[in-house]
Structure 1
Amino acid sequence: MHSTSRPATVAGAVARAVVVVLLAVAGLAGVGTGLAAGADAVPWTVRTAANEFGSDRNNYSYTVDPGGRIEDGLVVANHGTTSLDLAVYSADAFTTDAGQLDLVTEDATSTGVGAWVDPGQDHLTIQPGQSAEVPFAVTVPENATAGDHMGGIVTSLTQGGVERRVGIRIQLRVGGGLKPGLSVEGLGVHYSGTPNPFGKGDATTTYTIRNTGNVILSARQAVSLSGPFGSWPVPSGQIDDSPRLLPGETWQVSVPFRGVVSALQLTGTVTLVPLLTDAAGSTAPLPAVENTTHAWAIPWGLFLLIAVMCVLVVAVLAFRRRQAKISPE
């Protein structure tokens, strides 16, 4: 039902199975440390370092002005029985087709947070039962755009061609004017019709949500479908909120409708309420945006029935005229 247009990884990543674990809040990748979806648990965990930013953080979150610099740390613990030689790198984030936060692979080129974060080392060897802290610095360019930027710091181990990754997300809010915004693009209604002259058909409304602003937003969605002048409205049913979209990202939506009257013309309307989540985790709705489109819903079955009836009437009248002409006076 949903698909997204997202940054693509390089071709080499296609041939490599990748397992990603991200520490994230609700609405993003909901897997926890030490777990790998669809795979065995990895033998190591990661957590944020305890320092002036806090001692019990789920992820890294900073507000910094362009040109600013932040120093922090990542703690890696080996819970296995053998030593681990882990790669350490930073990467940009994106939203997957499933609506979860992910990070691009190491061989992909990062241009945002992944390029701004500099881990103190690119490899780390940890003995069984031991832990180590990896310092890293975040340097925001002078020309960085205001608003939200997302990435992460990753530890990874490749065995048998499978890369297993455990990381923590890094969210940066660069100082400057915040301009939240969503748009509805490519709105269309497709009516499939019905051969029953007096029946109702199905319709599908499709559209793309685009984050046109500079902050991370999700969208509360409402879709309506009706005939001329609001007649024969059809409810869409419950539509889930979109995932949180990074600035510039898109989310494609398809909403089915059942029991739609062939009303010659249909009106489809999409209303989005942008949802902004602050650093404390509370969500605030913003002013709604709306888009409307029209589509034909021609009752071909009814038209065919009327045409057949007209033909029959004409045929009967013609037959009667011929009979009247040949009747004896």
Structure 2
Amino acid sequence: MTSAPTGPVLRVGGAGVIGVFIAHLHERPHSMSSSSSLPVYRTVLTLLVLLLSTVFPASVATADTQDAPTTIWSLSPAATDEQDERVSFRFTVAPGDSVEDAVELTNFSDQEVTFQLQAADGIVSESGTFDILRPDMENEAAGNWIELDQEQVTVPADDSVTIPFTLTVPENATPGDQPAGIAAAVSTSDDDDVAMVHRVGTRIHLRVDGDIMPVLTVDNLEVDYQQNWNPFAPGTATATWTVRNDGNVRLGAEQLLRSSGAFGIATAEEPGQPIYEVLPGGQTTVRVEQRVLPLFALWSTVELAPQIVGDDEVDAALSNATGQVVTPAIPIPQLLIVAIIAGAIWYVVTRKKRAKKKFAAAVAAAAKQQQAESAKEPDQLQDA
């Protein structure tokens, strides 16, 4: 799970020392020879933060300050007699019923740390990864149904604490998937320039018992065709569409973009990036580029095949979804070439016709002159 910003944020990943390094930079006295160099110093610092956060993506829960060593922790489902190595919770609960379980919070650091616990609705981020709502956002479903025995826990160094929780599904809960999660967070701040909140959590796959309706739809399909001014190469069709989950269970999808001219001429196919997960009521935007010949009009069809995610059970038929649109694809370079060739042919044919007419007119004139001269000869002989 990602960090919840509370100010300027550094999301520490593969090396917790980055947090210490940046904090020290902010706290070092400015011993520059001129006060005008301060903006340059902050600019260089900002670029360094961006570079380091790119090299070390956020992947482990670490936090550090100048006065305390790095904190490393994990949050996972507590071991049970039936399951010792769960990576997430998976419940099927009828409306009005409850289930009890627990999370295990482990502090791998060599100092005692106090953590804040939060239960919240599950979401899928723009990058396609699962997350939960930030603490400043209001829960609308399963996040409200989870009651933690403790919301603040102090864990001794190199030790673990088990925190029970109860999940109660309301009588009027909507059947289907209601994703949620529990996160443990540590907030650190050294001064006004650095504030960090790091979270790590575990996912809750909750399915409210009832009728299952797996439904994915394709909406807002648009295709923008860009000419290739090389008349012997195809242009580029950029298609965008929205995949929306109108059902009540999470689904993935395989997708295919098919485009052609009239009557299926010059068909081109391009697979879209597989969608791993779309939550009920959620949606994601897809963009695909395709090389297509310009044939005056482009018939584009998106074919979407829903997929069951992970170990989910969906006892209902999965129906494919489609979207269609027709886009102008005028072959301008090709038409220009045709026009030039047609003009050249017209010029050659017209020139030949004119030359032929001119030659015929010259022959006729010569014949007429010959006749005139022949008519004069008898008169001249008679006068003689």
TM-score (ref. length: structure 2): 0.70
CA distance in 2, matches of 1:176, 1:230: 44
Runs of at least 5 residues in structure 1 that lack an aligned partner in the other structure: 1-8, 21-34
Q: Normalized per residue, which structure has more helix?
A: 2
Question: In the TM superposition, what whole-angstrom CA distance separates every residue of 1:1-20 from its partner, at most 9, and x where no partner exists?
Answer: xxxxxxxx99x757545679
Change in 2 beyond 3 A, CA 1:219/1:284: farther
Are the aligned partners of 1:148 and 1:173 in contact in 2 as well (CA < 8 Å)? yes
1:95 to 124, 128, 146: 124
Aligned with 2:157: secondary structure? coil
Residues 120 and 17 (structure 1 numbering): CA distance in 2 closer, same or farther, change over 3 Å? farther
CA distance in 1, matches of 2:105, 2:219: 44
In the TM superposition, what is the alpha-carbon distance from 1:287 to its structure 2 partner? 2.8
In structure 2, what is the equivalent of residue 37 of structure 1?
Answer: 59
> Counterpart of 1:123?
152
Residue type at the aligned position of 1:208 = T
Instruction: Identify if the C-alpha distance between structure 1 residues 15 and 140 changes in structure 2 by more than 3 Å, giving closer, same or farther.
Output: farther
Residue type of the alignment partner of 1:66: P
Number of residues paired by the alignment? Answer: 304
1:301 corresponds, among 313, 316, 333, to 333
Which residues of 2 match residues 1-329 of structure 1 at below 5 A?
A: 15-17=8-10, 36-37=58-59, 40=62, 42-51=71-80, 54-160=83-189, 161-236=195-270, 238-258=271-291, 260-277=292-309, 279=311, 286-309=318-341, 329=365
Distance 1:19 1:182, change over 3 A: farther
C-alpha distance in 2 between matches for 1:128 and 1:39? 15
Q: Between 44-53 and 106-115, report the one with greater CA deviation.
A: 44-53
The CA RMSD measured in Å over matched residues stands at: 3.1
Larger strand share, 1 or 2: 1
Unmatched tracts of structure 2, length 5 or more: 14-56, 64-70, 190-194, 366-384
Q: Is the 8 A contact 1:151 1:169 kept in 2?
A: yes
The one-letter code matched in structure 2 to 1:72 is D
Measured at CA, do residues 36 and 16 of structure 1 come closer, stay the same or move farther in structure 2, by a change above 3 Å? closer
Does the Cα contact within 8 Å between 1:276 and 1:285 map onto a contact in 2? no
Cα 1:300–1:125 change in 2 (3 A) is same
TM-score (norm 1): 0.81
Which has the bigger relative contact order, CA under 8 A and spacing at least 6?
Answer: 1
> Greater CA radius of gyration, 1 or 2?
2
% identical equivalent positions: 31
